[in-house]
């Protein structure tokens, strides 16, 4: 394959995959929603869950985006230094978004700041967002795709706490956000929390935490314990589907962390809505791909 053909092939795969993630939810999200649906008993919660499942069925049958807000595309890239398209990757991801915008179709969600106009193509200055992790001595490339919708972007918040406020302060920071903004962000939510040395590291981790599979835990025992405490605590608030009341509120709580400065605790919270459109695809050096999140995806 010439470089040109390789670029074309990967662009097409990514465009198709991005479009697919807008129409079909990941396997783990569907499984969790089925579990939560079975645990609700009020007529209102039942009507809402019935609507959600009917919607996913219709989206698949009619081949349409299941939620109209197909978000601003974000890519979390873990790229080996030996991956043959490392130089072309960022450009081809942008091209894949343009392609997916017209083929899927996706909603136009890139508004240039200050000039305040919609580019009409879903790409603009800095969008789609691409975050890089470089992996030395590897020739593959792993990509998480995420459609960051407006509704679940709104609750995002970050701050730096004084150590005296401790993890108790982290708890309050996260839970306060659930009842002020979270209930409008399409529960049951997936909640990402970053605990780190500063505001920017915490913010980035709180979003990265949303890429983890539902049901996974932080490696640190205390952090995993806190994930469980927060999950049970937010569930006990009883937001229910759509924040209209029910027995559960969240699909999970994921914490990601770094070490911190002795004087500060950076903390951030981000949420994914029930329609959590994240995908995960891994390419080898010959551009053979494996999708781990969506068992039904085919080229």
Residues 105-144 touching other proteins, rule: CB under 8 A, are: 105-109, 117-118, 120
38 token code pair: 């079975």
Interface pick for other proteins out of 79, 230, 250, 268 (rule CB under 8 A): 230
Interface pick for other proteins out of 125, 134, 238, 290 (rule CB under 8 A): 238
86 token code pair: 């490392």
Cα dist. 196→200, 221, 247, 259 in Å?
9, 17, 32, 6
The pairing of beta strand 289-291 with beta strand 129-135: unpaired
Residues 190-229 touching other proteins, rule: CB under 8 A, are: 222, 225-226, 229
Residue 50, classified by CB atoms within 10 Å of its CB into exposed (0-12), middle (13-18) or buried (19+), is exposed
Residue 166 as a binder of other proteins (CB under 8 A): the answer is yes
Residue 168 as a binder of other proteins (CB under 8 A): the answer is yes
Residue 254 sits at the vertex; the CA angle it makes with 248 and 259, to the nearest 5 degrees, is 145
Residue 167 as a binder of other proteins (CB under 8 A): the answer is yes
Residue 239 as a binder of other proteins (CB under 8 A): the answer is yes
DSSP assignment string, 152-168: HHTT-EEEEE-GGGHHH
Interface pick for other proteins out of 67, 89, 96, 250 (rule CB under 8 A): 67
Nearest distance, CB of residue 290 and other proteins, angstroms: 28
Number of residues that bind other proteins (CB under 8 A): 62
Helix (H) or strand (E) holding 10: helix 3-21
Residues 1-40 touching other proteins, rule: CB under 8 A, are: none
Cis upstream peptide for 128 (omega within 30°): yes
* Contact window for other proteins (CB under 8 A) among 82-90, 124-132, 163-171, 211-219: 163-171
- Beta-bridge partners for 130: 75
- The DSSP secondary-structure symbol of 68 reads S
How many residues in the chain? 299
Dihedral in degrees, nearest 10, Cα atoms 151, 152, 155, 157: -130
* Contact window for other proteins (CB under 8 A) among 74-82, 130-138, 267-275, 288-296: 267-275
- Beta-bridge partners for 193: 255, 269
Nearest distance, CB of residue 222 and other proteins, angstroms: 6
Residues that bind other proteins (CB under 8 A): 44, 47-48, 51-52, 54-55, 58-59, 62, 64-70, 105-109, 117-118, 120, 150-151, 154, 163, 166-168, 170-172, 175-176, 178-179, 183-186, 222, 225-226, 229-230, 233-234, 236-239, 241-245, 273-275
């Amino acid at each position: 394959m010439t470089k040109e053909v390789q670029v074309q092939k990967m662009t097409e795969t990514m465009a198709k995959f991005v479009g697919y993630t807008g129409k079909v939810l990941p396997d783990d999200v569907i499984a969790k929603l089925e579990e939560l649906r079975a645990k609700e008993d009020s007529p209102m919660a039942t009507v809402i869950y019935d609507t959600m499942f009917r919607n996913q069925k219709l989206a698949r049958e009619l081949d349409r985006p299941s939620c109209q807000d197909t978000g601003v595309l974000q890519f979390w890239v873990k790229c080996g230094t030996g991956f043959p398209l490392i130089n072309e990757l960022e450009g081809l991801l942008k091209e894949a978004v343009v392609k997916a915008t017209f083929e899927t179709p996706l909603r136009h969600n890139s508004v240039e700041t200050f000039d305040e106009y919609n580019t009409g193509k879903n790409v603009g200055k800095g969008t789609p967002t691409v975050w890089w992790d470089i992996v030395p001595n590897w020739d593959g490339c792993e990509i998480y795709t995420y459609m960051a919708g407006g509704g679940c972007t709104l609750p995002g918040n970050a701050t730096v706490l004084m150590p005296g406020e401790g993890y108790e302060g982290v708890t309050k920071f996260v839970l306060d956000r659930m009842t002020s903004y979270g209930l409008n962000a399409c529960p049951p939510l997936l909640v990402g929390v970053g605990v780190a040395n500063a505001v920017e590291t915490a913010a980035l981790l709180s979003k990265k935490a949303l890429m983890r599979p539902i049901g996974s835990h932080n490696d640190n025992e205390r952090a995993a314990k806190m994930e469980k405490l927060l999950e049970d605590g937010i569930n006990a608030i009883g937001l229910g589907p759509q924040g209209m009341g029910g027995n559960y509120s969240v699909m999970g709580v994921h914490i990601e962390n770094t070490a911190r400065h002795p004087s500060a605790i950076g903390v951030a919270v981000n949420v994914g809505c029930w329609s959590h459109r994240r995908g995960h695809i891994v390419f080898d050096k010959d551009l053979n791909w494996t999708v781990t999140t969506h068992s039904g995806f085919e080229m």
